[in-house]
Chains A and B, each alone.
Chain A
């Protein structure tokens, strides 16, 4: 079985976000990037399937600054291949463009199961999984957790509002948008990452296409500050306030 993880980098929210002079995107010079945390869950789920069943795990990322480190870390964790998907465009604007590029890349690979994070901090839609599945014409379960794989099919859990949980069985090839892996992402020691950087190499896969977005950002700005909350000192103060407002007498 070949499990492919589609991952992307997202702005690191530890840093203060700076909007560029045109007011439609973050200033790339002021932005640090990291692996989307949900894609990290997807990678962990793929590695857990590998641990249990011995499959091949590949990680695909659109080529951009900072993805080498992420991909070497994935290799050090146990992925078998790490592929940078290269396009003419430096940036892919939104999940539809990313899905198109990844579908083109997946078209050149034999895959059984595609895993991607259910959403990302920079998403406009949180729909990378369903978009990619429709382009690949494979079944998809989004917001999946509790994945187990056996005999050409996977079983997954999906949580619904109101405390409802469903269990799906999905034939392969297929795609899952991963909410959470069966365990939290594993730690890989720095010495292992360093060793992999010396020994292993990243693959590059050129894909052709325009990869146009379906939507564009018209304007971006920091949210307006609200007036803020007033902290009350205790019950007497609360009671006084409620009396003042006429809620209690």
Chain B
């Protein structure tokens, strides 16, 4: 018998009678040991042998994970239990679309009683496929752009600081000012290059300026934080951009790094120390929420709209920060905050993490709706007029989803920093 194939010596009869009792039907077949004896555990062992992927072998099939998997909820037929089961019955994960579906949102890890950690397993498995040259084309293009230009858009590194011309306030670039600062603001790819991200970057600069925050940026010397590349299976690329950023950080005197995005937060907080870069780092909402005494009185314009907030996976579940964004939103005069059913620890993933940001074409064939579309519908269902976000991936993702779900004009997507900036005179 060839490995991983069903044992044909087991015959399934259409009609079976035992001691005069008709036991026809598939319900009785679950008691047969066939799939345990007909398959070897080799596919599980092969995956578990990869550094980081060991915990796949711990799964005992309770399926709590599938109930919270955002990909499964969007029709993706996914989740760690399903992966384990498919491995048991011969799945080659390295050649399967299942390899690329996980967004590393960590919701399965939250509920898993056995510590099966997909956030470690999937990048390890992907790394092996990437080393074998097997990468979905749209993800490959992103890798090539980051390798060549240090940003996923394939834009010129020199143009990374161009957004500051539209900020309307002075944005100090550390290579030019050469002065110590309190805050090194890590602007990030989407704030620097994406049109809607640039709106948020300008808003951030103006809010910092009004609060008198002593800050500076790396400008054109900044590179992608690298975290999504790492999670998509290209740790070498992550290391190359991370080492560059660490060297740049080390050139300047500052007290802490403040990031625009949760993915940069995760990279600098959990991964850069492994490469010798120890820095105090926080998300911008974590910088601003404790400054509400000063910030609150500046919010003089009323924002009379019903707002719901989307918890970014890498700020919430990954780093436990649920309060800072909500404190900022509730401080906005006139703003009515309403929660979606899936919020905070249970927050639903936008689909952009773990490389998902560059797999929309690939994923279109794998799910019945985009994760971002599902999330936008949830926001509309709770009557929100504004979907507030604080991850730079999300404005473009959700704006696309607003259009594709026919909610253009009904729901506006705004970064929290844009709302704050808009309420200042």
Q: Interface of A with B (CB < 8 Å)?
A: 12, 14-16, 32, 34, 184, 186-194
A190 near B236 (CB under 8 angstroms)? yes
Q: Interface of B with A (CB < 8 Å)?
A: 130-131, 133, 135, 137, 140, 143-144, 147-149, 154-156, 158, 234-237, 239-240
Interchain residue pairs A-B with the least CB separation, the first 8: A191-B236, A190-B236, A190-B237, A187-B140, A14-B156, A15-B156, A186-B133, A187-B135
Contacts of B239 in A (CB 8 A): 190-191
A189 near B130 (CB under 8 angstroms)? yes
B187 CB to nearest A CB, Å: 19
B133 contact from A14, A16, A187, A193, Cβ within 8 A = A187
A187 near B148 (CB under 8 angstroms)? no
12 residue pairs from A and B, CB less than 8 Å apart: A14-B156, A16-B158, A187-B133, A187-B140, A188-B133, A189-B130, A189-B131, A189-B234, A189-B237, A190-B240, A191-B236, A192-B236
A59 CB to nearest B CB, Å: 18
Roughly how many angstroms separate A12 CA and B147 CA in the complex, as a whole number?
A: 14
A140 CB to nearest B CB, Å: 30
Roughly how many angstroms separate A12 CA and B237 CA in the complex, as a whole number?
A: 21
Q: Nearest chain-B residue to A32 (Cβ)? A: B156
Roughly how many angstroms separate A117 CA and B235 CA in the complex, as a whole number?
A: 31
A16 near B143 (CB under 8 angstroms)? no
B147 near A14 (CB under 8 angstroms)? no
A187 contact from B144, B154, B155, B158, Cβ within 8 A = B144
Contacts of A190 in B (CB 8 A): 147, 234, 236-237, 239-240
B225 CB to nearest A CB, Å: 15
Roughly how many angstroms separate A16 CA and B156 CA in the complex, as a whole number?
A: 9
Contacts of A191 in B (CB 8 A): 131, 235-236, 239
Roughly how many angstroms separate A88 CA and B395 CA in the complex, as a whole number?
A: 54
Roughly how many angstroms separate A16 CA and B159 CA in the complex, as a whole number?
A: 9
A152 CB to nearest B CB, Å: 29
Contacts of A186 in B (CB 8 A): 133
Q: Nearest chain-B residue to A77 (Cβ)? A: B133
Roughly how many angstroms separate A21 CA and B144 CA in the complex, as a whole number?
A: 33
B236 near A187 (CB under 8 angstroms)? no
